[in-house]
Structure 1
Amino acid sequence: LGLEERARAIPSVPKFGATFVMGDDEKTSDFWFQPGPRGEASFAFNIERAPFDRMLIDAAADAGAEVHQDVAVRSIERLDEGGVTLATDIGTVRGRMLLDASGQSTLVGKHLKTRQRLPDLERVAYFQHFRGVLRREGRLGGSIIIVLCEEGW
């Protein structure tokens, strides 16, 4: 689909690894992504979500996919190797395959009754973006910083 070329066109911060730090200590541990299969440097794109989603939708449409946006799926009427049929706000939609991008709503998981709640898994995350903070030098400058503490990370 040409996604890498499209992703490179979106403003981003390249991440070549991650930095872990204990919440009560200044000591850090840096981890680097391993080189790819052809020896190229491995990195992750840190891209804002909305432009990333737009890129994926546009690439799918350019490749011939029929894309429906802002349409609620009411139920999955059929889902098997022969295709998919959905009841939606705009009527019945049929296709060869379904990409479930419903996140924690787990549309397909609910339909297949495979969704499981893990009682000990707390789904809470805190994150922050800062302005005016100096980045570390070189390749560490884009690393995600993960702060570990007694309660988690």
Structure 2
Amino acid sequence: MIELWNWRTEGRVAASEIRLALADALDVPVLPLGGVDPVRVPSGALLVDVWHRPGDFPTSVDCYGVPAGLPEVSAVAAFARRLGRACLLADDTLDAGRHLLVAADGTIRPVHHDVRDTEDGEILSEQRLCTLLSPRCRGWSPCQRSRWVPDSVIPALAAA
């Protein structure tokens, strides 16, 4: 089975810039998903689909055939540093509004967004920190059962 990573980036970023940043950060060949002859894909290549939507973090990045043994959080931290932009990835709570925010320096922390489903896909807005100061994040909330508990901050060096 092919593992899939789904990320979002801050601002609109061109697909070519995404592929270049991924190739630099992960040190693997990166190719666009569409129009690639499967027979000619180099071994270890990452296939990437990039598209834009409205809302916060409007650039979506799907990575197929990810490098074996590379933790996703380490990969996205390296990618965010290389790109110089914050990125989002889904966390482990299965809460559609909770994500991990990876700052441009690679620091990781949990955040919440309002999520609205539209014809253009999921639109995120109103980012706020996942913190014990919020009643939504206390007690028996999914936030408490996450690896990324409220108010946690993973410094860039630990994420690398």
The reply to whether TM is greater than 0.5 is no
TM bin (shorter chain) = under 0.3
Q: TM-score, normalised by structure 2?
A: 0.26
Larger Rg: 1
Q: TM-score, normalised by structure 1?
A: 0.27
Q: Which has the higher contact order (CA 8 A, sep 6+)?
A: 1
